[in-house]
Amino acid sequence: MGFKVLIQTEAIDFGKEHGLLQDSGDSVGAIATFFGTVRDFNETRKVESISIEHYSGMTESELKKILNEAKARWKISAGTIIHRVGKLHVGEGIVFVGIASSHRKEAFQSCDFIMDYLKTNAPLWKKERHDGGEDWVSSKESDQIFARSWEKGSY
């Protein structure tokens, strides 16, 4: 086991990934996961499906950098980042982040950190299909603020 980054079109097998983290060593005492799924609304619109595009090669290297940064900041035993690309329907998993560590704080914090950096640094783009057509999702200023909060050493 160890650390891995995957970009895939197939569905994310949450149970399998969680199991791999759980089996990643006897010193593991905590696993924190984040599983982002497609919801049926954004702001005021009803969403039917989304499609995700990425910059092949750069996405993987950016996610590896983020995972390495998490390893440098916290004592963690194993970590997984899986992001889907292509067409996804409401309810499907978009992203899985899982961290195994000896204690809960490291797992919670590094998981949170990885998502904040993924949101602002990984070259992935979502397009929503809704009843009125299709639109690229706009980036949120709040995501930039969340990512910057890790720079201050305030955690």
| DSSP-assigned states of every residue in 68-137 | HHHHHHS--SEEEEEEE-EEEETT-EEEEEEEEESSHHHHHHHHHHHHHHHHHHS-EEEEEEETTEEEEP
Which of 31, 52 has the CB closer to other proteins? 52
Task: Report the candidate in 138, 115, 8 with the shortest Cα–Cα distance to residue 60.
Answer: 8
Give the C-alpha separation, 85 to 155, whole Å. 31
Which of 102, 149 has the CB closer to other proteins? 149
Which of 22, 121 has the CB closer to other proteins? 121
Q: How far is the CB of 49 from other proteins (least distance, A)?
A: 15
* Interface with other proteins (CB under 8 A): 36, 52-55, 57-59, 61, 83, 94-95, 115, 118-127, 136-139
End-to-end Cα spacing for the chain: 28
Which of 27, 139 has the CB closer to other proteins? 139
Q: How far is the CB of 94 from other proteins (least distance, A)?
A: 7
Which of 22, 127 has the CB closer to other proteins? 127
For tokens 């092949």, what's the residue?
Answer: 56
Q: What is the CA radius of gyration of the chain?
A: 16
Q: How far is the CB of 102 from other proteins (least distance, A)?
A: 27
Q: How far is the CB of 118 from other proteins (least distance, A)?
A: 5
DSSP state of 154: -
Q: How far is the CB of 136 from other proteins (least distance, A)?
A: 4
